[in-house]
Amino acid sequence: MALLLVLVGLGVMLLGGNLAVAGAVRVVEALGVAEGAVGLTLLAFATTAEMFALVLAAARREVTEIAVAGVVGSAIYNATATLGAAALARPLAVDGLLGPALAAALLPIAVLLLAPRGRLTRPAGVLLAAGYVGYVALILIR
């Protein structure tokens, strides 16, 4: 029974991934925006919503190291294992994503600067959230 549940879950995830890509393509066509813009915003939000819930729950329970480690671990996994597996299946074009990739590479430095005593405060959280809003705005206007 457990194996059946795993297989059904994997099937649903594959279907969900295909539906998300099909929906993203329709958004690109309807709005006339770049594929990268939709991937960097809409799909990024959709695929990280569960991490957002996990981080909020961990922060409320004051297990903040789990919250931060979850975000960092997820970013590392997605940037290495997920992209690596996709590139094995089919080479990926990345030229238009060099700017966002640079922003992602510089983000840990920003977090360190905002947390000099090893804690991210509420004002630092506001700055990070505002930075994301600015990042999305730049993606959508280019």
Segment 127-141 shows an average pLDDT of 85
pTM, entire model: 0.67
**In this model, does residue 6 exceed pLDDT 80?**
yes
pLDDT confidence bin for 48, thresholds 50/70/90:
confident
Q: Mean pLDDT, the chain, as a whole number?
A: 87
| C-alpha distances in Å from residue 16, one per residue of 40, 75, 122 | 18, 21, 35
Per residue in 76-122, pLDDT (tens digit) is 888 889 889 989 999 988 877 777 877 877 888 888 888 888 888 99
Work out the number of other CB atoms within 10 angstroms of the CB of residue 38.
20
